[in-house]
Amino acid sequence: METINKQQKRRSRIFSAEARVAYICLIPAFLGLIFLTYLPLVGVLGISLTNWTGLKSPVFIGFDNYIKIFTTDPYIKDSIISTIYYAALSVAGSMIYSLFIALLLNRKIPARGFFRAVFYVPYVLPAAAIYVGWSWLYEGNFGFFNYVLSELGLKKILFIADSSFVVPSLSMISVWLAGNLIVIFLAGLQNVPAVYHEAAEVDGAGGWKRFRHITLPCMTPIIFYNLLMSLIANLQVVTPALALTNGGPGNSSRFLTYLMYDQAFVNYKLGYACATTLIIFAILAVFTTLLFRTSGRWIYNEGGDDK
């Protein structure tokens, strides 16, 4: 018993020495987080309880902004719905699309390097150029897609000019832009041990079975990471609304971040915008927590559980 105790003590001493170094090394990161993230966050909370417009000094109004948001705000409901709708479509679409492309690019196909570049390129193009390009494709009167449709004798689709098509249309762009997910999936696929596949092949497992029972389980940590990143990024969507739709038609693409931008920098209701920001924060927190909570059930961890 004694030896074990001694060992534990020694270990804890080593730990605390290690811990000290670790904390010292972490100070810069902590400072950054505190001054650039947590304090501003507290500031946002503070401002959200005022009626600040930037012109006069802020007056404390309690929870009035929040009450207004949930009772009389003409945009918030549509905004929350459209954001979640967009995020759901984009996340599902880009996960399936990029895993599929990654699987193809992981095979020994001719000109593999070239194709890998091709699928990654959209991700590095400047956003403004991308959206201008897509706006020409989607244009409701003379756009390329509608030109094709009318040449085929079909009825025109208004795409981003139609409140029921705008979110799916924008999600399409987001899926097309998912080059970074493909790269991460590819890296993950290359880490799936080849021996498993070989063994399974010897046992007579077909392609689908091997994918289902080897590739997919081995990929779950990567899938989780991509899912999380893409969920957060897509819930914060704002660029397509700014570049293409101005939140329209109607409120159909008035995403939460766009709504907040509009309140803060177009209408100068800074207090109100801060309250909206915290609502966005809450929504993100709910979805992220949900994802983490359920992750234990489906993530296969090769290194064992180290909680």
Partner 1 sequence: MKTGKKLGAGLILAALVMSAAGCGDNETNTASPGSEPAKTPGTSSEKVKIVYSMWGSAAEGNTTQAVADRFNASQDKIEVEVQAIPWENYMTKLNTLATAGQLPDTGMLKEDGVIQWSSEGMLNDVSAMYEGSDSKPLDSLAYKYKGKTVAYAAANEILLLYYNKDMFDKAKVPYPPAALDQAWTWDQFVETAKKLTNDKNGKHPGEDGFDSQSIVQYGASVENLPWQLETWALSNGGGFYSEDGTEVKVGDDASVEAIQRVADLYLKDHVAPLSVGQTDDGIQRTIIAGTVAMATNGQWNVGTSLNTAKEEGLKYGVAVLPYMKDKVTISTGGANVVFSQTKHPKEAMEWLKWYNSEENNWDLISSGIWMPTLDKWYKDETLTRKWVENPNFPPYDEYKSAVVDYAQSSAAKPAAWFYTNYTTDFNTLLGSILGDVWTGKTTAKDAISKNLDALKAAHTGNQ
Binding site for partner 1 (CB under 8 A): 16, 19, 23, 27, 30-31, 34-35, 38-39, 53-57, 72-75, 135, 140-142, 150, 155-156, 158, 160-163, 244-252, 254, 262, 265-268
Residues 282 and 290: beta-carbon distance below 8 Å:
no
Residue 38 or 292: which CB sits closer to partner 1? Answer: 38
Rounded to a whole number of angstroms, the minimum distance from the CB of residue 223 to partner 1 is 32
Position of tokens 């719905």?
81
- Residues in contact with 93: Cβ distance below 8 Å, sequence separation at least 6, in sequence order: 171, 172, 174, 175
Give min distance, CB of 64 to partner 1, in A: 11
* Nearer Cβ to partner 1 (19/124): 19
Cβ at position 3, least distance to partner 1 in Å: 25
Q: How far is CA 213 from the centre of its chain?
A: 27
Shortest distance, CB of residue 276 to partner 1, whole angstroms?
13
Residue whose CB is less far from partner 1, 35 or 292: 35
Nearer to partner 1, 4 or 55 (CB): 55
**Which CB atom, from 51 or from 220, has the smaller least distance to partner 1?**
51
Q: State in angstroms the smallest separation of the CB of 306 from partner 1.
A: 17
Rounded CA-CA distance 266/113 in Å is 45
Q: Which one, 66 or 97, has the nearer CB to partner 1? A: 66
H helix runs in the chain, sequence order: 2-33, 39-48, 64-71, 76-105, 112-124, 127-138, 144-151, 166-176, 179-190, 194-202, 207-210, 216-235, 239-240, 256-261, 270-298
φ/ψ bin of 268: left (φ > 0), alpha (ψ from -120 to 50), beta (otherwise): left
Are residues 200 and 214 in contact, defined by beta-carbon separation less than 8 angstroms? Answer: yes
Shortest Å, Cβ 79 to partner 1: 10
